Structure formats: structure tokens, C-alpha cells
Structure 1
Amino acid sequence: FPQRATAAGSGVIVRSDGYVITNDHVVAGADKVTVQLMDGRTFVGKVYRDPRSDLALIKINADNLPAVQFANSDDVKVGELALAFGSPFELSDTMTMGIVSSLHRHFEVTEGTNGYYYPDLIQTDASINPGNSGGPLVDIYGRVIGINTAIESQTGGNVGIGFAIPSNTVRYVMDQLIAKGRVVRGYLGVVPSTLSYDQAQMLGVKQGAFIQMVEDGSPAAKAGMQAGDVVIRFNNQPVTDEASFRDLVARTAPGTTVPVEVYRDGHDLTLNVTVGEAPSDKTEQPQQQQEMRKARGRMGIEIGDASDPDIRKKFQLNSDVKSGVVVLNVYPNSPAADAGIQPGDVIIALNGKPIKDAQALSDALAAEPSGATVRVTVRRFSANGPGETLVLFVTLY
């Protein structure tokens, strides 16, 4: 018989009229969310979700509540004292202390069919455990600098590496959820990455966001942006890396035309780009998107079926390729990148077993333990030459 499941997490009162912020993964899949205050009162809340940021806002019918004060997370420095609050293992009102260990971490979490990608996180060694999710990370003045979200651990318990979503991101998402019930983000239709030192030296730039892919018909493509460009400034603001670029684009209102300075072939160019609106996140992801997230979580790639006509046209696949999985994007410093897998490669086998589509690849990867090394057979095509078959070794996340 079906069994009723319950889960617990933490939250932060962000407005005195009954608004509470928490993680999306705390409330995802719940048919009822109950908020219990420190004075013992309980309320059934209305939930507004933003899966892309892994944040959710809960509205309860209460007034005159004590609300937190936010700090400017852009001012947070490595080495500052940090205090984490929450209910680890359902031990309510727990506080732990540590420092800010690092900034601008990116992190991927995949659980079953759900996945979250965090492009910019605060790392702390303040003890964070299951149940801390959604609770605040605060500075020595009690101001919120982040929302505790994830841990890096092989055992599931604290090992001194925790992550929090920066307070500036939390405030941006919160304000939109309160005003609109959803988060509207700007969209260009590109895949950016952060340049390594050697890559920056090779291209002749000090910093910026490298454009790996430009989607056909996207706002970026219409403005003349090309794969291989390095974005130096966006709307007159400096771009230091992938995270800063994504943030600047996301916070630009759709329909706004902004100047984008790019470095291309030794020259600076200014393009006028009309920002589009990012596609809305769905509470339940289509099956294909779920399989893409699984592959990204284990190998660090974005994928699509080789049978998809649009993908075949985009990558100019040979007619002898009738099935398999096309690599749409490879994330920097990922297992796939380390192994030499490239966008446009067609994965046709894993450990010698044929791979016909994204579902088959997902199933094969799910059967492998973390840290396993697998043999990936790919077909690779060049514009002016014959295709080739390669066998590459990938050590999975």
C-alpha cells in the first residue's frame, strides 16, 4: 500500500507579515507544507517555488513576526566567522560555528530524477548536516549572508565542507516571488564557461566569460555573438567569469537592449543585445530533461538523442549514425572534459554495451558507483574529413 512520507528542513522569516524562505528541495514534491515557529505555533503555508535557484518562499497567515536582516554577500570575505542555524537531524534551534572557507563555488547535486546546479556558492566549515537545508548562515552581527543548501560528503554527514546560496541571490529571488509569484530572468541563449589561466593567456585576455555555444535564433545569435567570443563587459559592468556573466544576464529585464563588449580575434567589439526571457522551470521536468541532468551530474555533459532532427542538423551528423547520444556541451574541469570528450561527439557505447538514447545512457550510469571509471565509445566527425571512433576512459562523479 502507498505510504505517506514526511520530511523536515529549516527556514528563515524574511518579512514580518509571514514570509519564510527555504530551499526548493525541502518542499519539492510535498502536498502540504507546515511551518512551526520557535514559540510552538504551526501554520500551513502557501508555497512559491523557484527550482532553478533551489529556493522557495512560504507564506503563512501570521503578522508581527521577527524578521532577519540581510548582509551584502558581495562584501563577504574568506576567513570571516560564520554561524549556521537550523534543525540538523530534527534537532531544532541548533547553532554551529565556523568560518567562510571559500567563495564562488559551483556545485551540482543529483538525487533520483531531481537535480540542482549552483553556479555561485559560499563555502563554510560551520557544521551543516541533513535538516540544516533552508536555514541561515549569518555573520558575527547576526545578518544573513546565505541560505544553507548542500554539503560535500561521502558519508552523508558533516565533514567540514558546506555550501550556502549567497544572500544577494536570495533577496533577488525572494523579491520576485513576493511581487510576481515567480522569477523572471533574462536569457541570451549561450553556454558560457570560466577561462583557466592558460586559456586566458592563449586568447590574450585577463578575464571574462568564454562563449562555448550560441543557440541558433537566440537573442545572442541575432545580435551577432559567436562561439569563441569572450564577454568582457555586459551592460557596462565588468564580467570576471561564468558566474558573474550568468548573474548579470539573469537580472536584466527581458526586452532590454544592452551593450555587450566581446573580445574576438584580437579585437574588442560592442554588440547591442536585446535580452529575452528565460524559459520557465517546470515543477515536473520532462523525461528527456531528467536524463540530461543525470548525465550532467555523473559526467559533466549536456546531452540529446542522435535521432532528434534539430540536433542532427546542428551537428551535421553522418547518415550512418542512426542512434546514440549527442554531447551538446561539456562542462569545464568535469570528468568528460578531463577524458577529452567534445561537443558533437556521439556516445554509442558504455563499457562495450550499445547506447541508443538518453534513457539508456542514464540507466547505464545509474548502475555505476561514484568514482568508477567507465569506457565510453564515441563517434566524432570533422567538417572536412572522415569520421572516427574513439574509446575514452571517464572517471564518474
Structure 2
Amino acid sequence: MTDLTPLSSLSSALADVVTRSAPSVVAVHSHRSRATGFVWKPGLIVTADEALADEGDIQISLPDGSTAAATIAGRDHTTDIALLRTDASLAPVKLAATVPPLGTLSVVVAADRDAPSAALGMVSLSGKSWRSLRGGDIDARIELDVRLRFAQQGGLALDASGDAFGMAVLGPRRVLVIPTATIERVAAQLEARGRIARGYLGLGLQPVRLDDGIGAMVMNVDKAGPSAAAGIRQGDVIVAVNDQKLSGVRALSRTLGPASVGTVVDVAVRRGGEPVSFKVTISERPEA
């Protein structure tokens, strides 16, 4: 008997990595959409929100070929994480908190056409935390040099040791990984509340140019919101928050994350050309 070559050893090791994780990976069927999900906790499946339809029933195809019904426990568009509930009995995957170094091999285990699938690639970027285009806080920037089909979104990203370090999703022109830290944080809130708390000022704003910078004109005010309670009116122009000059309406919106709820901010406005200051207690954004 000949000894195994390094390449055949690597091949066998990768096949073993896929075999061990595949029982926790499912196919997710929603209205005219297909995705992948993995078992986060007993009865709870994490999948890619972007690939999940906004309406209709949800079914999951299990590794043994059977199907089961699922319902949406919660979803967060900003981090691309959705949580499903199901009565199907499946073994959860253990997520590793590590962020893989640049250049390491990665295997994405997913479902494609209701069958297990695997794709081999490399970690092409491994960096610090970042904010998505939709305003979600992602704990690490991980990109993979790998090709995935749309239905493989939500698959498990594994390192060469078989540790699952996140969920693979399709970003603009690249494959991104939503890391374990983000999944654990967001999925726990979705499990408990069905949604992610967001800060709310209760204002409709329009950017305006000022002689000394940028402001945000108040176009409408929610009468039941925190800004109305503080005394801010339609026509006021916000110029600073907590003594920081406003850099734009979008920048202001991005500060209204989960941690902002309940905090008090100093809002500096110009009313009829005169400076006025208000203390606003940020509330939680209503679901509607």
C-alpha cells in the first residue's frame, strides 16, 4: 500500500470537514426564493435575510431528504440575519468565535437544489469591524475568494479545522461572511424579541447646506415622538448633536443603533436663525 500524498491527505481532510457539518445545514424554501440555513439552537435556524422572501410559507429541506415547516422568528435587514423556528429535530452547529487569518483556506457548506454542497476558497480579506450599507454593525470584515450560487447564501463558512466562523452571504461583487460574534448578538435578540431595537428621534429630515456646513431641516415631527416632547418643531434646522457638527442625515441615522435607545442627546438647532438647544431622550423605533 502506498502512502497518501499531501494532496490526497488534504482532500480527505476537507471531505471530513464537510461530512461533519452537513447534518446541521438545511435548504430554505420561501416564496420564489431558495437559500441555505444552519441550525443555531434546537428548533432555531439562522439564514440569510437577503435570500428570504417577504411573504408566503417557509419550508426547510432536511439533510435526510424530508421537509418541515418553519416560521420567521425575526429578521434584521441591516446585518442580513434572519431566524427561523421549526419543530424539526436537528443537531445545532457550534460556532467558533475566531476570525480566520488572511490567506487561509475556507470551505462553505451549503444546500443547492435541496442537496448538500461545498465550495472551497480562500480568505481574501480579514479585517476590523464595519458598518453595512443598511446600517448594521458587523464585528469583522471577512471576504472569501469563492464562487457561490444564490441558493448557497446562508451556508456555513468553515476553516480548515472544521470550525464554523460565520455565515456566507453574497455582497456586491464578493462573498462576505457574517461572523460568529454578529450572529450570536443579533440572533439572541431576534429569539427574545423578534426584532432589533433601533433608536428613534421621531423626525423627518431633509439635508440643507448652510454657510458654515451642513444641517438637517425638520420637515415633519411625530407628535408622539421624543423630539416633539423635547420641543423641536417643524422648520427647525439641526446643526449639531452632542456638540458634534452634523455631517449629514444618513450619518445621523447611523448613530441610532440599538445602544442609542434610552440615551439623552443634546441637539443644537437654528430656529429663525437663532441658536436653540434641546435634550432629547432617544426612544425605540416603532415597528410600523
What's the TM-score, normalizing by structure 1?
0.45
Q: Distance in 1 between matches of 2:106 and 2:49?
A: 23
Q: Within 2, Cα distance between the matches of 1:124 and 1:171?
A: 21
Alignment of 1:11 with 2:37, yes or no, is: yes
Q: Judging changes above 3 Å, is the alpha-carbon distance between structure 1 residues 249 and 100 closer, same or farther for their aligned structure 2 residues?
A: farther
For residues 153-177 of structure 1, what are the alpha-carbon distances to aligned partners after superposition, in whole Å with 9 as ceiling and x for unaligned? Answer: 5xxxxxxx31122222221110001
Aligned counterparts of 1:252 and 1:131: Cα–Cα separation in 2:
33
Match of 1:166 among 153, 161, 179: 179
The one-letter amino acid of 2:246's match is A
Aligned to 1:39: 64
C-alpha deviation, 1:251, in angstroms: 4.3
Are 2:135 and 1:99 aligned? no
Q: Tell me the distance in 2 between the aligned counterparts of 1:281 and 1:80.
A: 41
Deviations 1:351-381 (A, max 9, x none): xxxxxxxxxxxxxxxxxxxxxxxxxxxxxxx
* Paired AA for residue 103 in structure 2: G
Task: State the shift of 1:52 in Å.
Answer: 2.9
How big is the shift at 1:41?
3.0
The corresponding residue for 1:26 is 51
Please tell me whether the aligned partners of residues 83 and 138 of structure 1 are also in contact (alpha carbons under 8 angstroms): yes
Partner-residue secondary structure (3-state), 2:150: coil
Alpha-carbon distance in structure 1 between the residues aligned to 2:241 and 2:97: 35
CA distances 1:313-364 after superposition (whole Å, capped 9, x unpaired) = xxxxxxxxxxxxxxxxxxxxxxxxxxxxxxxxxxxxxxxxxxxxxxxxxxxx
CA shift, 1:249, in A, is 6.2
Q: Structure 2: which 5+ runs fail to align?
A: 1-29, 203-212, 219-226, 231-237, 266-278
For residues 171 and 242 of structure 2, what CA distance do their matches in structure 1 show? 40
Distance 1:164 1:37 in 2: 23
SS of the equivalent of 1:87 reads strand
Matches within 5 A, 1:306-385: none
Report the Cα offset of residue 81 of structure 1: 2.4
Q: Is it true that 1:87 corresponds to 2:106 in the alignment?
A: no
- Aligned-pair CA distance for 1:223: 3.6
The residue number in structure 1 matching 2:282 is 276
Query: Do 1:214 and 1:226's aligned partners in 2 also have CA atoms closer than 8 Å?
Result: no
The percentage of aligned residue pairs carrying the same residue is 23
Secondary structure of the 1:168 match is helix
Q: Where in structure 2 are the equivalents of 1:72-151 lying within 5 Å?
A: 72=97, 75-88=99-112, 90=113, 92-102=115-125, 103=127, 120=138, 121-151=141-171
Q: Which residue of 1 aligns with 2:15?
A: none
Q: Secondary structure at the match of 1:93?
A: strand
Q: 1:215 to 1:129 in 2, by over 3 A?
A: farther
Cα 1:169–1:86 change in 2 (3 A) is same
Q: Is the 8 A contact 2:199 2:285 kept in 1?
A: no
Q: Does 1:181 align with 2:206?
A: no
CA displacement at 1:61 relative to structure 2: 1.1
- For normalisation by structure 2, the TM-score amounts to 0.60
Q: Which has the higher contact order (CA 8 A, sep 6+)?
A: 2
2:119 aligned partner, one-letter code: T
Q: Pairwise CA RMSD of aligned residues?
A: 3.9
What number of residue pairs does the alignment pair up?
Answer: 213
